[in-house]
């Protein structure tokens, strides 16, 4: 078995079918991650029982597995920060529990992108919807001069956005970063708890510290999109998004207002018909 010195961090909150698909797909990576850390935010008994049982297949695949069981939903920022404290990898990956592996070599491909230049600190894959024809969900993020967010390529054909390059931001649904980035700028800012905009804030903090952020389309991952956050009954999703968006703009307007980001008209959210895991066949790993 080949392993990459990477720690993959996953936050779980119920939605067991998605988490199971996510974790089982990781066992089919080549190379495998050296470490997987799951931080569970007070899920039901069935979910926590499954997460505890995952130590068996992880051990079989020679993966160091750590499970954090919070008694309540402490938010994605806090849970990820808890996991970061346990992470021992040279590379640190975030992966949402509603993701699944499409490119078996995704870790290697992202790590190779990180190593092409010392200033590249984070790299993110092409995210696609997990049903044919596998249209784009996100190909990196643009921020307009007024602070509007663009999911680049959303809803476009699978083959679009095939050029690697630097981006303003990535969504934390999936990225790989050098450990040095975390050691230099610290963890996610928990003022953005439970979620939303903490990833963009982290990206701008990294760029402020001199790091570049890259989109690497050779690596592809499936994303069902907002399964945990939008499905949490204790989370006012719209309120949190507005509140955290205002905080992000307050902090970083001085920077994004001077960048050559997308036009506001190109940042309109494209409503798409999305499917749940019960509506799709298990997506293939290529």
Q: What pLDDT is attached to residue 235?
A: 63
Is residue 145 predicted with pLDDT exceeding 80? yes
Q: What pLDDT is attached to residue 227?
A: 79
Q: How confident is the model at residue 263 (pLDDT cuts 50, 70, 90)?
A: very high
The rounded Cα 137 to chain-centroid distance in angstroms is 12
Residue that is written with structure tokens 């949490």 in the block: 232
Is residue 201 predicted with pLDDT exceeding 60? yes
CA atoms of 193 and 11, how far apart (whole Å): 13
Phi-psi region of 135 (alpha: psi -120 to 50; beta: other; left: phi over 0): beta
278 domain residue, yes or no? no
Q: What pLDDT is attached to residue 232?
A: 57
103 domain residue, yes or no? yes
275 domain residue, yes or no? no
248 domain residue, yes or no? yes
Half-sphere exposure of 60 (CA within 13 A, CB side): 8
Q: What pLDDT is attached to residue 237?
A: 83
pLDDT digits (tens, 9 = 90+) for 41-61: 999 999 999 999 999 999 999
Q: DSSP letter string over 33-56?
A: EEEEEEEEES--HHHHHHHHHTHH
Nearest to 98 by CA among 39, 20, 29: 20
* Boundaries of domain holding 94: 3-270
pLDDT digits (tens, 9 = 90+) for 207-259: 999 999 999 999 999 999 877 665 555 568 889 999 999 999 999 999 999 99
144 domain residue, yes or no? yes
Average pLDDT over residues 77-99: 98
Domains contained in the chain, number = 1
Percentage of residues in the chain having pLDDT higher than 90: 95
280 domain residue, yes or no? no
CA atoms of 110 and 113, how far apart (whole Å): 5
Higher pLDDT, residue 180 or 227 = 180
CA atoms of 224 and 265, how far apart (whole Å): 25
286 domain residue, yes or no? no
Is residue 70 predicted with pLDDT exceeding 60? yes
285 domain residue, yes or no? no
Is residue 74 predicted with pLDDT exceeding 60? yes
CATH number at residue 87: 3.90.550.10
């Amino acid at each position: 078995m080949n392993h990459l010195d990477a720690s993959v961090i996953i936050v779980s909150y119920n939605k067991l079918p998605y988490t199971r698909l996510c974790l089982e797909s990781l066992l089919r990576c080549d190379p495998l991650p050296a470490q997987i850390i799951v931080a569970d935010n007070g899920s039901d008994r069935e979910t926590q029982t499954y997460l505890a049982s995952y130590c068996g297949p992880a051990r079989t695949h020679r993966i160091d597995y750590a499970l954090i069981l919070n008694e309540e939903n402490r938010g994605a920022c806090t849970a990820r920060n808890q996991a970061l404290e346990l992470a021992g990898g040279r590379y640190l990956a975030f992966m949402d529990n509603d993701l699944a592996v499409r490119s078996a070599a995704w870790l290697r491909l992202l790590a190779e992108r990180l190593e092409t230049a010392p200033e590249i600190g984070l790299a993110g894959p092409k995210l696609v919807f997990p049903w044919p024809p596998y249209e784009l969900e996100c190909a990196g993020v643009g921020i307009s001069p007024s602070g509007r967010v663009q999911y680049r390529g959303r809803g476009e054909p699978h083959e679009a956005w095939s050029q690697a390059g630097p981006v303003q931001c990535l969504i934390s649904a999936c990225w790989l970063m050098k450990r040095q980035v975390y050691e230099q700028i610290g963890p996610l800012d928990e003022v953005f708890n439970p979620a939303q905009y903490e990833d963009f804030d982290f990206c701008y903090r990294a760029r402020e510290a001199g790091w570049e952020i890259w989109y690497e389309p050779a690596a592809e991952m499936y994303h069902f999109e907002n399964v945990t956050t939008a499905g949490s009954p204790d989370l006012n999703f719209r309120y949190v998004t507005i509140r955290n968006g205002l905080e992000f703009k307050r902090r970083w307007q001085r920077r994004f207002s001077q960048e050559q980001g997308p036009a506001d008209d190109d940042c309109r959210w494209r409503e798409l018909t999305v499917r749940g895991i019960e509506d799709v066949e298990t997506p293939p790993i290529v």
